[in-house]
Structures are given as structure tokens and as C-alpha cells.
A and B are shown apart, each in its own frame.
Chain A
Amino acid sequence: MTHTLLAAEGALPAAGVAQSAWLLLALPLFGAAVLLLGGKATNKWGHLLGCATVILAFVYGLTLFLSTTSLKAADRIQELHLFSWIPVDSLSIDFGLRLDPLSLTFVLLITGVGSLIHVYSIGYMSHDTDRRKFFAYLNLFVAAMLLLVLGNGFVTLYFGWEGVGLASYLLIAFWQHKPAAATAAKKAFLMNRVGDVGLAVAIFLMWANLGTTQYTEVFAKIGTLDGGTVLAISLLLLLGACGKSGQFPLQAWLPDAMEGPTPVSALIHAATMVTAGVYLIARSNPIYDLTADGRLVVTIIGTVTLLIGCVIGCAYDDIKKVLAYSTVSQIGYMILGVGLGPVGYALGITHLLTHGFFKAGLFLGAGSVMHGMNDEVDMRQYGGLAKKMPITFATFGLGYLALIGFPFLSGFYSKDAIIEAAFGQEGWRGWVFGGAAMLGVALTAFYMTRLMLMTFFGEQRWKNLKSSDGRDYHPHESPAVMTVPMIILAVGSVFAGFLLTNGNFLANWLEPSLGELKEAGHPPLPAAAMTALSLGLMVVGVGLAWLFVGRKPVPVTKPERVSWVVRAARADLYGNKLNETLFAKPGEALTKGLVIADDKAVDGTVTGIAGALAFLSSRLRRTQTGFVRSYALTMLGGSVLVVAALLMVRFS
């Protein structure tokens, strides 16, 4: 039965190079284990081992990718069964890897960007006494993330999902001596739990209704379910995606997570982990294909999030938080893309990949700036850094251009495709989603230009300032171990978009996993007009930023008298407030009520009984008088009772 199903879905047993795919998980896991168990003994070379395992995993992934491209399209989905994981009664979950174009794409992204960021971290964390632990956690993250994308069923995915959540928690709180970092880690962990519950319940529903959680079997049988159940599953999966990917209404944890070291922000909270939600929806494409309502909700969430991210990004002065909200907003684009269904799955993944390059590059650049600026994150203290850090400026600048969609750079190809597809939706949807995405282009251009101007151009404001620990600023270029990864990522930001979209390369490659990329239906405007419009909006955004920020000196302290829009944006568009009033406050009230009920009613009863028993005990123990004759009397009494009772039972 299983085999026929597998055949129906076209999943073949892994052969050749693919049979060693377990190495992908084992290598980083081995690194993490050695570094964690080895303790201080590994301090000297731990970071090198950490890098080596991930680079080896990348090399293997590349080999696997190349060997797969030589196969026929139909043979590109392979499964590698490792062992029977949870065999309980009728629930039998195999631990297996699914090697198909989608998962291999992610493998390359994770190990590729992961390798670069590992190398970068050698320099960035060189002064940290716990560098070894940092690499151990990074390796753990890579292993968990690979498990997430390689697993051949929802339970394996969930395992990886929780694994990356744990690694993310550990890494956000890496500098746990900072209360902000500890709080941020807790916040990230808790908000992710909300999403995880959704994912878990979705898996329960699949198990309850289909009796399986393996991808092939779920996708083969999902059509037999009624629409309501499919919708419920799709919405619950979306809730999981929202938690992990920082989508509305669970977006608030992602900016706070920037308290972690910058390489973590680049790898986990920009390039890979936060895109797991996009992966989840793209992976579940057979489920979303069946429910138009589910897809609509996904697109709405994506659109709302992309606007929220842009608007808040305009108001922050903290360079990493601006980038974080930019990430929120860009993932909004991806979610919007995959929410469009067959016309958008591949587009979302394309944008995910290009975004992985340029956003990781931007974060690494921000890290490089902070490295030279005594770890200061307030852009108002920067200014005119272009001359001091030429390489950082150049790589950051290329990433910036790619992100705002400058022609012929990565973002231009991947983002415009999503906008066009969004416009292609029927009726009001096309205008609303397309329009919002279009507006996002202008806002993105605005906040990113503002960031560039405040950081790299203008007056060198830091000259007259001291950092919070009292030192003068001496901005300097970062060492080669940091700049080389930035350069590689910058090259990627420039060319990735063209290479991936040229002749629909990526879409064709992903076809076995995501189905054929359909043309968007009825665009109200010709494609060229849309491109022109988006370019125009981009220029408007850049111009406005120059008008607001570039023309005049930037005040060193944040101006307090600002319009309500800025105030709202500075308050995260009241996202935290909303969560607090809607969930935290009622929750607290409920807790308080329960505590009172518990104190008064339950505890009262318990302490009452305990008190009564203690009183009884203190009285009764006086019967243990210490006189042997009274003990004998007790025994005699007991004996008489026992014998009398026996005789009564017998003769009554």
C-alpha cells in the first residue's frame, strides 16, 4: 500500500549519492555534540570544527544537488528511510528524509549562507569568551533546520521546527547577562509556542482524519477530506507559519530577537529559520491547492504584515530593528506569494532565496558597522561611515539596492514577480493585494534609503560622541574573515535574482515539488507598466527619504514632537499593545481570578482538612501514653474486635 502510494507521488527510494543524505544531519549535529560535550578543551579549535562541519555539509549538499539535476524531472523526488521512529500501535512514524528539489534548494541555502555566516562569526565573536558555545548552538541550529526541511513527514518537520525554536532561544539569549536579551528570548519562545500549538493541532487533525502524517500519504489522501477540515488544517498550518516567520499577529518577537549576536540575526532571523513558515506553506501546497479560502487568508496575512513591517521600519533608529522589520515585511511578500497558490509558490520561494542573500548580507554589514562602532546600534550616532568602511559600504550598498528592487539586481526580479502575480488576482483582490505590495515598494525604498543616509552619508556625528561604555568611537573596517562572506553575499544579491528567474530556471527546477508555475490570470495592467510603476514608486521612496533625512543634519537625539503616524510606528503600530490588551490582560485577569479561587476555595479546603487532621493527630498521639499496659490493652481490644467481627460475620 505504502509503496503504491509512494509510486503514485513519484517518490523513489534514494540511490547513489543520496543514500548518504543522513550526513547532512549528522555533520552539524556531530559538531554541536563535540563542542557541547568537549567543554573547555575544545575552546581553541571549536570554531574551526563548527565551520568545517557546515562547509562539509554544503559541499555534500552541492554534490547531491548536481547529481539530482542530472536526473529526469520525474525521478527527482527521492526518499531515504532511516529508521522506524515512533511505532506505537497504528501510529507508525518513520524517520525518513525527503530529497526533492524544494528540500535541496533549502539545503543549499541553509548550508551555503550558514557556512558564510559561520566563517563571519569567527571574526565577529573573536572577543567573546563563550565563542565555542556559540558555534555549538549555531551547529545545532543548522542540524535542526536541515531536519525541518529534509523530513519526509509533518512530525519530522515538527521535530526540526522545535529544534530551531530551541536553538533560536539559546542564541537570542546568548548574552543572557543583558536583561533585554533574556526577555527577548523568552518572548520569542512564548510567541513561537502559540504558533507551534497551531502546527501541532494541524498534525493531530491529519492523523485523526487521514491516519498518517507522512507527506506522500497525506497529500495523496487529502482530497478525500471535506472542505471544512481542509480549511481548518490550512489555517492551523498558517498559524504555525505566522509564529515562526513573525507574521501578523505574531510578529512582535522578531524585532526583539535582534538582541542576539548579529550573525544569529543574519542566519536565523533573516535568512533561514524565519522563512520556515514560507517553506511550510509551499511544502503543503497540495493542501492549499484545495482551499481557496485558506489561500485568501494567507494572502491577507502576508499583505497586512508586509505593510506593518514597512511602516514600522520607517520609524526606528536602531539599525538592526529596521532590518528586522524589513525582514518581517519581506516575509510578508513571500507569504503573499505562496498564498497566491499555483501562480505564486515558486515566486515566494524565489524571493525567499534572493532575500536570503541580500538580507544576510545586510545584517552582516550591520554587524560589521557595529563591530567598528563599539556595538552601538543607534543610527543617530553614525553618519559618514562610507569612507571609514569602504568594503562594508559597498557590500551593504549592493544589498540595499537589491532589497529596494533596483533594476537588474536580485530583488527587482523576485519582488516584481510577486507584485505582478498579486495584481493578476481576480476582481478586488488584484487591486488590493497588488496595490498594497506596490505601496510596500515605496515604503521599503524610503526606510532603506533613510538607513543608508543615516549610516554611511552625512556628517560624522560619532566624532563628538562617546559610546555608552564611555569609549570614543574609532570606526574601522572589519577583518577579512568578516568582509569576505559579505562580499560573497553581495555578489549573490546582485546576480541571484537574474540567474534564478532567467528562463524560469528555479520554477522549472521546483516543478516536481510545487507543481507547474501557472501564469497569473488577468493583470489589469501590462507587465511593463507595472514594472515602470514599481520603479517609479521606488524612486519616489528614495526621493522622499532624501527630502526628510538627507537634506538636513540628523539630530543626535530622537525628536519627541512627531506626528501620530511616527508615534504609532515607533510603538510597533501597537502590536505589543494589541497583544497585551487582547491576550495578556485577560489572561492575567483569568489567572488572578483562578488564584483567588484556588486560595480561597481549594486551598481553604485543603488547609482546613490538613488543620483538622493535624489537630486530630496532636490529640490522638496522646493515646500513645508510653505505658506498656495501655498498649497491651489496645492490643487486647483490637484482638477482641477482630475475633468478634469474624464470628459475627460467620454467624450472622
Chain B
Amino acid sequence: MTPTYYLLLSALLFSIGTIGVLVRRNAIVVFMCIELMLNAVNLTLVTFARVNGQLDGQVMAFFVMVVAAAEVVVGLAIIMSIFRTRRSASVDDSNLLKY
């Protein structure tokens, strides 16, 4: 196998996630883009684990998944609560704190 393709793919996914964060307005979608970035990292980890012939990277991918799940819990809670008060999930509407 050629790890380069996998690494390029994961870099691409990471970039897509990054750009998503920058261009999307809905907080849920922004958050999903961040999840995409994390998963891109998982792909990198697994690739390097394979290259190195170790299990470490794969184990780390599991860790990342668990953390991502925890992040989802916290993130959705926060987004839900702000949605309840504002009736909007657009990140651009949260604009009281500035300058």
C-alpha cells in the first residue's frame, strides 16, 4: 500500500472540515465539520499505525472517538440551550460580544 494516498485523503478531509467551519452558519453543521476534522485525524493515525506496524495509532483513534463523543454531548447541550433562548442555531446571530 502507499500511505501517501491515505495521508493526502485525510489532509483533504481535514481541509474540507476547516473550510466548513469557516463558511457554514448553522452551529450544528459547524460542529459536524469539526467532527470531520477529528475523523480526518483518525485516518491519519490509523495510516501511520499501519506504516509503523504498531497498534498504538489505532488505539489512539479509539481514544479520539470517545473524546469526540463526549464533545458531541457537551456541544449539543450548549447549542440546544442557546437555541432555546434564541430560537436560532445560526452562529452569526450570536453577536452580542464584540469589539
Which residues of A does B touch, CB under 8 Å? 621-622, 624-629, 632-633, 636
Contact = CB atoms under 8 A, between A and B. Distances in A.
Interface stretch (B47-55, B56-64, B67-75, B87-95): B87-95
Interface string B72-99: 0000000000000000000110111111
Interface string B26-44: 0000100000000000000
Contact of A626 (B21, B25, B30, B95): B95
Contacts of A625: 95, 98
B22 A627 contact: no
Contact of A632 (B21, B96, B97, B99): B21
Given A622-B99, A629-B22, A633-B22, 8 more contacts: A625-B98, A626-B95, A627-B91, A627-B92, A628-B30, A629-B21, A629-B91, A629-B92
Contacts of A636: 18, 22
Nearest to A618: B99
B95 A627 contact: yes
Nearest to A626: B98
Nearest to A621: B99
Interface of chain A, main secondary structure? helix
28 contacts: A621-B99, A622-B99, A624-B98, A624-B99, A625-B95, A625-B98, A626-B95, A626-B96, A626-B97, A626-B98, A626-B99, A627-B91, A627-B92, A628-B30, A628-B91, A628-B94, A629-B21, A629-B22, A629-B23, A629-B25, A629-B30, A629-B91, A629-B92, A632-B21, A632-B22, A633-B22, A636-B18, A636-B22
Contacts of A624: 98-99
Interface of B: 18, 21-23, 25, 30, 91-92, 94-99
A365 to B, nearest CB: 78
A5 to B, nearest CB: 74
A427 B22 CA distance: 103
Contacts of B97: 626
B18 to A, nearest CB: 6
A633 to B, nearest CB: 6
A97 to B, nearest CB: 69
By CB atoms of chain A within 10 A, which of B18, B25, B96, B99 has the most? B99
Nearest to A625: B98
Nearest to B93: A627
Contacts of B95: 625-627
Contacts of B30: 628-629
Nearest to B21: A632
A620 to B, nearest CB: 10
A64 B92 CA distance: 92
A621 B18 CA distance: 25
A631 to B, nearest CB: 10
B16 to A, nearest CB: 13
By CB atoms of chain B within 10 A, which of A621, A622, A627 has the most? A627
Contacts of B25: 629
A316 to B, nearest CB: 71
Nearest to B99: A621
Nearest to B98: A626
Nearest to B97: A626
Sort A-B residue pairs by CB-CB distance and give the 9 closest, nearest first: A626-B98, A626-B95, A621-B99, A628-B91, A632-B21, A624-B99, A633-B22, A629-B22, A626-B97
